Structure 1
Amino acid sequence: MSLSPAFLDELRTRTLLSALVAKTVKLQRKGREFAACCPFHNEKTPSFYVNDEKGFYHCFGCGAHGDAIRWMTDQRGLPFIDAVKELAQAAGMELPAPDAREAARAERARSLHDVMAAAAAWFEEQYNGLPGAAARAYVEKRGITDATRKTFALGYAPDSKTGLRRALEKFGDRMLIEAGLLIEVEGKEPYDRFRDRLMIPIRDPRGRVIAFGGRIIGQGEPKYLNSPDTPLFDKGRTLYNLDRAAPAARKSGRMIVVEGYLDVIALAQAGIDEAVAPLGTALTEFQIERLWRQVDAPLLCFDGDSAGQKAAFRAATRALPGLAPGRSLAFLTLPAGQDPDDLVRSGGAQAFESLAASPEPLVDRLWNHELAAEPLATPEQRAGLRKRLNELVSGIADNDVRQQYQAEFRERFDTRFLQRPAFQRGPRPPFRPGANWQPPRPLSAEAKGVGSSGIDRRLLKGVVAGLLRYPDLLARHAEALHGLQASDPAIARLLDAMVDLALDEQALDTERLRTILRSSEFDALARDLLRADRLRFSFTKQDADPERAKTDLAEVIQAMVEQPEIEAALQSATERFMRTLDEEDRLEQQRLRELRDENARRLANLMQDDEGA
């Protein structure tokens, strides 16, 4: 019976690995994983871990590793097909009926694997013979030892259009063309794709050769030539050296992504085996997803030149939709003019490890890139920065992570351009009220609603009404006001128009603002907001003390801006505590809850109802 990769992937997805393992092994939760004494060897201290998110188990003692199917075959001793049948029955899945076409495709793939293995062997033979003298000289010049060359099975394709075709003629031209080894041109004889190149085998996760990368030895273009996509090889889904790097990554806890084959080989020769590389293209979403199956935060190490940094930023933006709690990227920027190969050849593994000790988090990479993208001397340019950051954040699918990025970028923006932090995790400085301040009354249900369900519409109306009375505050709080998430589209448009007017006119007073609004679509809304409303503040009353009103209005604006950030941090802390039950997480949750209630009380203290309570 032939089982498609899609069916097996679905079977693994539907099987909760920890529940399967727990049937015969006593598991204990450790953070996001489960731990136990390994069932494959005798031990007293647990070194066996099960990770449901990644769908595999691993023992750091004996190296046992696998998924749900491997557990059934290795621990239960079942044949592969029996293991699949038992798991499928438990998952409510029906085994696919035998498919003659699928069986034919599988047989074809097996034949192509034979072709690629034969080609790799022939290329190695040419490397070691008379034709490979120039290739050997090039490898020696690059500082690659013979042991490393053998590990990666480097070979040589002679400068001949028919050398490989003749050597592998038993497979036939059609098979060699399908494997990407010959080029077919209408009306002409097929000829060898790779000529006068150092040949680098590309393997699948099982270690089988599926393609080649060829580095030109003499003069010519392109410098690197890859196999085309074939039934075995999908360039956008394959990572070079993953078959060797994955086991190394399980031991080191990290996965390093570099730009090219020879960078991977140089790092491996220096003792850093957990490196992979994309295949001549920018890192794709599929490759990033494959990296995340290995580690939570792959380390991207691209060249320090402009092209390398652009590639790093492209990878950063492509990763955004897939971000999740505990799943990110980190970055290393190499010294100008150096790649990983140069670095380890001149300074050894220690030179690389010194850089790797302090990688740049993804959030920093995004922020620094956008900060340097354009000048930021004018309000319009700074508004452009905010817009670019918001566009980046909008691509994050996970709601919690998206809120964290929004809060982080808002805090950085406000700290840099408004000279005050919008929200800090430490204790808030004590609020020092003016002379007319009154002690806070008990927190009302209405105020609690303000603190927990976003910006209340009546509260927003009150603030805009206050700004209509005191428009000189608009420019002062322009950036904060732009960041408000207004639930009423009409009020949001009016607020944006008022802020734009304040930025255009240096001295905007109430009379001038009302005159402009009378000739606009906002006249009726502005008049309505200036009328008495059930929810009142000092700044919405005609007879209020101007200084007191302005102080209250500024306080409310600040509280409104901080409110969603506190809520996002509280939600994250609550979810983290529910996962870990850690005392520090509980204390953080409690502190944020108190901070949220304090923020609501600040608003409640400034609220006044019709009776002037």
Structure 2
Amino acid sequence: MALPPNFLDELRLRTPLPALIGRKTKVTRSGRQWRACCPFHGEKTPSFYIYDDHYHCFGCGAHGDAIAFVMQSDGASFPEAVERLAGEAGLEVPKATPQQAKREAKSRDLHAVLEAAAEAFQRRLRLPEGRAGLDYLLRRGLSEATIQKFGLGWSGGGRGALAADLKPLGIELRQLVDAGLMRAGEGSEPPVDLFFNRVMFPIRDRRGKLVSFGGRILGDGQPKYVNGPETDLFSKRRNLYGIDLAREAAFRGQKVVVAEGYMDVIALHQAGFGAAVAPLGTALTEEQLAELWRMVPDPVLCFDGDNAGTRAAAKAAETALPLLSPERTLAFIALPAGEDPDSLTRKNGAGAFQSLLDAAKPLSDVLYDMLAAQSPGATPEARATLRHKLVGAAEVIPDKTLGAEYRRLLLDRFFESGRRAPQPRFAPRGEWKKGGRPGPPALNLPSPGIDRDRTQRERAGCLMAMTISHPWLLPEVEEALGQLDLPPDSPEALLRDGILHWHAGAEQLDPDALRAHLQATRAEELAWATRLPGLPRAAMAEALPKEVAAGWWHFFGLLRGQEALMEDRRQAELDWIASNDEAALTRLVRLTEALSAQQRGDMEDDTNEADTAL
């Protein structure tokens, strides 16, 4: 007995081809596909290509799906291959029973029933009774070719119309109920139609087989859209509207776009975006995301620019996070307020939508914006809450390397948002005086020979050198380091970013590992900081921990300045009061010591010594 098609589809869906084939030969990505040297004939130049649901060798002609690969590579029979893959996928192979045979025959019958219904709906659209539906579609800007391409139709105005149309074909009411076209009556009542006075949208699976319908009522009736119920053929969680057409367009290189509804998908296809799909009345599910990632690694989710669209984007991001991998991500676009893909493309042309696609936001940006909106405000409590949420979101990602990259990106934005623009410490001489009267003119004396910018840069270099030699400090100083206002693209700024990047994914705070990372990514900046003349003792590997911590905060205070230090200390005190955390207390103590030293003038004395040494 043949196995159920739904079971085989689920088995193929749970068996990623690149991983399966990678057991036999080295697999590498090539654009949207993968390629390898064919495992079935000897070759030195790869001609074996792997797509979302099949493979093909352009050398020997080998072709097939996951089941066929196991049969060809291991010499297994079809049942053996299915049994092996099902065991790995956590599926139980259906047993051959008379009941299963009946279910298979029923599924074949249901496909035929749905196809007959689709033909009846399309005929009715062209009859006088379907004129309102046809006018609606034409008024929405759909061409005759588009209406035929998507098989759009009209349900009929009266109850029982579909049953009457299909009765001459020998289709019974029971079959219409099983196909999701009618609802069983209560008690002895006959079945009733699910669709009447509606424009009909056929729903097909990824293979192009008809599995259900959706209907849109004309006028002000509710609900506006109705989907068919769950049946043996149809699951809302697993299907996407337009998936059969989108697969071919995605294979040709078009961007996969997830819109919100039937008409959005149809309008995008008509405008030239042939890889558009939509969920079926539900938020985007894990199963639908898996289907999208089978086509491309980076589908784009398109939402309305209103509050509902924002909530839908947030829900999609939340669903996707635990499923991300280096080969699977998402991008997002938000439509202008009051627009949908249909209205946007009709008024402004396909180029308007293409511009949105070109400017799509990566998931990391959308995730930050979403979490920042949940914790607004600049108070220590709000920022602490946001930081915890950002780190928690990154930890949800199962791939540790990818999670570390997300943590770095999110915290980079977090620290950037907390930096204040540098304020002049004193008004220029001669421009202002208390009481509003101008002060005396500048004396235009020769400036001293000390270059403050060079001094500050070398102080920053000393700070980086201490951090590199003693990365155990990073949990205590990470936020302070991120707050430093360093010149963009300067050696000290690039080195700081490299250190924080490494810390985001480091499992052990080992100085040799940090140096190796920086040597590979910031070699020139590493050499500059670690070879500065007159480096403080705290930058040496043998320095004592207490000496290192004191030296680090000393140089931090020099770089921040007294006014900024006072604000840092105030924020640290609030953080400690709010959290009663040991790390917060340590930071408060360090900032207090640095501020006291600066107010006593100790730092200025040290600055002179440092300038001489440097």
Question: TM-score per shorter chain, which class?
Answer: 0.5 to 0.7
Distance in 2 separating the partners of 1:305 and 1:150: 33
Q: In structure 2, what residue type is equivalent to 1:605? A: M
Conserved? CA contact 2:260–2:279, under 8 Å? yes
Determine helix, strand or coil for the equivalent of 1:219. coil
Matched, 1:605 2:544: no
Cα gap change, 1:95/1:185 in structure 2, threshold over 3 Å: closer, same or farther? closer
Q: 1:149 aligns with which of 132, 147, 150?
A: 147
Conserved? CA contact 1:2–1:99, under 8 Å? no
Distance in 2 separating the partners of 1:26 and 1:322: 24
Distance in 2 separating the partners of 1:274 and 1:570: 46
Matched, 1:182 2:182: yes
Deviation larger for 336-345 or 9-18: 9-18
Q: Which structure is richer in relative contact order (CA contacts within 8 A, separation 6 or more)?
A: 1
TM-superposed deviation, 1:134: 0.6
Distance in 1 separating the partners of 2:508 and 2:417: 21
Cα gap change, 1:8/1:569 in structure 2, threshold over 3 Å: closer, same or farther? farther
Determine helix, strand or coil for the equivalent of 2:540. helix
Determine helix, strand or coil for the equivalent of 2:212. strand
**Amino-acid identity (%):** 40
Cα gap change, 1:15/1:259 in structure 2, threshold over 3 Å: closer, same or farther? closer
Residue of structure 2 equivalent to 1:591: 521
Distance in 1 separating the partners of 2:216 and 2:329: 33
Residue of structure 2 equivalent to 1:84: 78
Cα gap change, 1:11/1:372 in structure 2, threshold over 3 Å: closer, same or farther? closer
After superposition, what is the alpha-carbon deviation per residue over 1:483-530, rounded to whole angstroms, capped at 9, x for unaligned?
Answer: 9xxxxxxxxxxxxxxxxxxxxxxxxxxxxxxxxxxxxxxxxxxxxxxx
Residue of structure 2 equivalent to 1:302: 303
Residue of structure 1 equivalent to 2:3: 3
Cα gap change, 1:560/1:143 in structure 2, threshold over 3 Å: closer, same or farther? closer
After superposition, what is the alpha-carbon deviation per residue over 1:86-143, rounded to whole angstroms, capped at 9, x for unaligned?
Answer: 7458879798652322222111111111111111111111111121111111111011
Distance in 2 separating the partners of 1:122 and 1:158: 9
Cα gap change, 1:245/1:409 in structure 2, threshold over 3 Å: closer, same or farther? same
Q: In structure 2, what residue type is equivalent to 1:49? A: Y
Conserved? CA contact 1:403–1:568, under 8 Å? no
Cα gap change, 1:593/1:157 in structure 2, threshold over 3 Å: closer, same or farther? same
Matched, 1:372 2:302: no
TM-superposed deviation, 1:334: 1.3
Residue of structure 2 equivalent to 1:505: none
Matched, 1:564 2:562: no
Determine helix, strand or coil for the equivalent of 2:219. coil
Distance in 2 separating the partners of 1:274 and 1:2: 32
Cα gap change, 1:185/1:611 in structure 2, threshold over 3 Å: closer, same or farther? closer
Cα gap change, 1:210/1:370 in structure 2, threshold over 3 Å: closer, same or farther? same
Deviation larger for 169-178 or 235-244: 169-178
Residue of structure 1 equivalent to 2:313: 312
After superposition, what is the alpha-carbon deviation per residue over 1:393-431, rounded to whole angstroms, capped at 9, x for unaligned?
Answer: 2322222222111111111111220459xxxxxxxx965
After superposition, what is the alpha-carbon deviation per residue over 1:63-89, rounded to whole angstroms, capped at 9, x for unaligned?
Answer: 99852346699x99xxxx996247458
Residue of structure 2 equivalent to 1:523: none
Cα gap change, 1:113/1:563 in structure 2, threshold over 3 Å: closer, same or farther? closer
TM-superposed deviation, 1:166: 2.3
> Unaligned 5+ residue runs, structure 2?
422-455, 484-495, 532-536, 549-614
> Unaligned 5+ residue runs, structure 1?
40-44, 421-428, 465-476, 484-556, 575-585
After superposition, what is the alpha-carbon deviation per residue over 1:149-187, rounded to whole angstroms, capped at 9, x for unaligned?
Answer: 000000001121111122234332222112211122314
TM-superposed deviation, 1:205: 1.1
Distance in 2 separating the partners of 1:387 and 1:22: 40
Conserved? CA contact 1:56–1:65, under 8 Å? yes
Residue of structure 1 equivalent to 2:193: 192
Conserved? CA contact 2:180–2:231, under 8 Å? yes
Conserved? CA contact 1:2–1:102, under 8 Å? no
Residue of structure 2 equivalent to 1:388: 389
Q: In structure 2, what residue type is equivalent to 1:161? A: R
Conserved? CA contact 1:165–1:191, under 8 Å? no
Q: 1:140 aligns with which of 126, 138, 144?
A: 138
Residue of structure 1 equivalent to 2:284: 283
Distance in 2 separating the partners of 1:105 and 1:20: 33
Distance in 1 separating the partners of 2:12 and 2:328: 23
Q: In structure 2, what residue type is equivalent to 1:285? A: E
Distance in 1 separating the partners of 2:134 and 2:209: 24
Distance in 2 separating the partners of 1:210 and 1:611: 71
After superposition, what is the alpha-carbon deviation per residue over 1:24-59, rounded to whole angstroms, capped at 9, x for unaligned?
Answer: x9988758821579x9xxxxx9886225xx553369
Q: In structure 1, what residue type is equivalent to 2:118? A: A
TM-superposed deviation, 1:326: 2.6
Cα gap change, 1:233/1:594 in structure 2, threshold over 3 Å: closer, same or farther? farther
TM-superposed deviation, 1:364: 0.6
TM-superposed deviation, 1:2: 2.6
Cα gap change, 1:262/1:83 in structure 2, threshold over 3 Å: closer, same or farther? farther
Residue of structure 2 equivalent to 1:550: none
Residue of structure 2 equivalent to 1:98: 96
Distance in 1 separating the partners of 2:498 and 2:18: 46
Distance in 2 separating the partners of 1:270 and 1:391: 40
Determine helix, strand or coil for the equivalent of 1:432. helix
Determine helix, strand or coil for the equivalent of 2:252. helix
Number of residues paired by the alignment? 481
Distance in 1 separating the partners of 2:509 and 2:62: 39
After superposition, what is the alpha-carbon deviation per residue over 1:296-323, rounded to whole angstroms, capped at 9, x for unaligned?
Answer: 1101111122212221121111100001
Q: How does 1:69-468 map to 2 (within 5 A)?
A: 69=67, 84-85=78-79, 87-88=81-82, 98-169=96-167, 170-187=170-187, 188-419=189-420, 432=459, 455=472
Distance in 2 separating the partners of 1:303 and 1:589: 46
Distance in 2 separating the partners of 1:308 and 1:165: 39
Conserved? CA contact 1:50–1:57, under 8 Å? yes
Distance in 2 separating the partners of 1:211 and 1:193: 12
Cα gap change, 1:92/1:174 in structure 2, threshold over 3 Å: closer, same or farther? closer
Q: In structure 1, what residue type is equivalent to 2:318? A: T
Conserved? CA contact 2:197–2:218, under 8 Å? yes
Conserved? CA contact 1:11–1:87, under 8 Å? no
Cα gap change, 1:611/1:145 in structure 2, threshold over 3 Å: closer, same or farther? closer
TM-superposed deviation, 1:218: 2.7
Determine helix, strand or coil for the equivalent of 2:359. coil
Conserved? CA contact 2:265–2:278, under 8 Å? yes
Cα gap change, 1:611/1:101 in structure 2, threshold over 3 Å: closer, same or farther? closer
TM-score normalized with structure 2 length:
0.66
Q: In structure 2, what residue type is equivalent to 1:100? A: P
Conserved? CA contact 1:15–1:91, under 8 Å? no
Distance in 1 separating the partners of 2:272 and 2:58: 19
Q: In structure 2, what residue type is equivalent to 1:67? A: D
Q: In structure 1, what residue type is equivalent to 2:159? A: K
Cα gap change, 1:124/1:10 in structure 2, threshold over 3 Å: closer, same or farther? closer
After superposition, what is the alpha-carbon deviation per residue over 1:266-313, rounded to whole angstroms, capped at 9, x for unaligned?
Answer: 111122210000112211111111111111110111112221222112
